[in-house]
Amino acid sequence: MVTIYHNNRCSKSRQTLELLREKGEELQVVEYLKDTPPAQELKAVLQKLGLKPEQVLRKGEQVYKEQYAGKSYTDEEWLQIMAENPILIERPIVVKGDKAAIGRPPEKVLEIL
């Protein structure tokens, strides 16, 4: 089973989802803007990515610029901020077993299949 944290408005996310379908992967699609994962789930995903929360923030988003730019937070605080503002989570994130990848470019996820 492959899980994709997906935003249908994002072309890279749509391309990654299509790539996974072409590969015949059994998919669980999490539309994370509607069904936001809790901070603990985000933490587990980031551990699989080998990244810290601040490394997967979308710093170009308006909410980041207005509320968080230039401020310092702990990893746990960033996780909570991401859970409360899922638009800040880089996309798409694909998880298979104990591995994860960010689909930028979409072909990057092939490394974990």
**What mean pLDDT comes out for the span 47-67?**
97
Instruction: For the chain, give the mean pLDDT.
Output: 97
Residue range 9-23, pLDDT digits in tens? 999 999 999 999 999
**Do 46 and 90 meet the contact criterion of CB atoms below 8 Å apart?**
no
**CATH homologous superfamily for 2-112?**
Glutaredoxin (3.40.30.10)
Specify the pLDDT at position 53. 98
CA 22, CA 39: separation in Å to the nearest integer? 31
| pLDDT band at residue 61 using 50, 70 and 90 as cut-offs | very high
Sheet with 99-102, edge to edge strand ranges:
27-31, 2-6, 93-96, 99-102
Q: Own/partner pairs for 102-105, CB < 8 Å, 24+ apart?
A: 102/49, 102/56, 103/4, 103/12, 103/13, 103/15, 103/16, 103/19, 104/12, 105/12
Residues with catalytic function: 10
Specify the pairing of strand 2-6 against strand 27-31. parallel
Task: Output the pTM of the full model.
Answer: 0.95
